[in-house]
Amino acid sequence: MTTAARRAAARATAAALAGAAILHAAWAAGSTFPESSGRALAELVIGDGDRMPPSGLTWAVAAGLATGAVVVAERARARVLAAPWERMACRAGRLVAVVLAVRGVGGLMTSGLGLVDEASRFRVWNLALYSPLCLLLAAGAAAVWTRPSDAGPAEDGTA
């Protein structure tokens, strides 16, 4: 991946993570966007029309997404960090990728294998958007945080 492509992937991935963080923070603060009620929102985003998860848990998800956005955005700056910080940043970036991949694969498995009510709006959105987006963001985070030495031949064609 070229430096320009790495920066573009970092910016796009970080922006999407930041947007998801803002949405989760709004839900934690009581917003029902894009629905008109909490019950409808719960059905849409978790498949349970009874209630949303506790706000503390939703704040934790928002904080995790925001942290992931910052970690990935750091790569867009294309700065070389001191060795211990670079290793820690790479591990954090890879952790972001792993968490998103687990959510993406887990979502596809639970919805795809019928472990979620087939008539559920959540199941439809989980298969069509939530899980594929998590997998796309995981791929973006992984690509951004792969060291050039891990990615094959150098950009100038040398090994």
- Residue 57 domain-assigned (yes or no): yes
Over residues 11-19, the mean pLDDT reads: 96
For residues 19 and 35, give the distance between their C-alpha atoms in angstroms, rounded to a whole number.
Answer: 17
Tens-digit pLDDT profile for residues 32-61 = 999 999 999 999 999 887 889 999 999 999
- Residue 158 domain-assigned (yes or no): no
pTM of structure: 0.85
130 touches 110 (CB < 8 A)? no
Contacts of residue 151, Cβ cutoff 8 Å, sequence gap at least 6: 1
For residues 82 and 18, give the distance between their C-alpha atoms in angstroms, rounded to a whole number.
Answer: 26
Tens-digit pLDDT profile for residues 71-123 = 999 877 766 667 788 788 888 889 999 999 999 999 999 999 988 888 889 99
SS3 16: helix
- Residue 159 domain-assigned (yes or no): no
- Residue 111 domain-assigned (yes or no): yes
Write the DSSP symbol of residue 6.
H
| Structural domain total, the chain | 1
Over residues 59-70, the mean pLDDT reads: 96
> Domain range holding 81?
3-145
- Residue 100 domain-assigned (yes or no): yes
Is 146 a residue whose pLDDT tops 80?
no
Q: Where in 35-111 does DSSP place strands (E)?
A: none
- Residue 99 domain-assigned (yes or no): yes
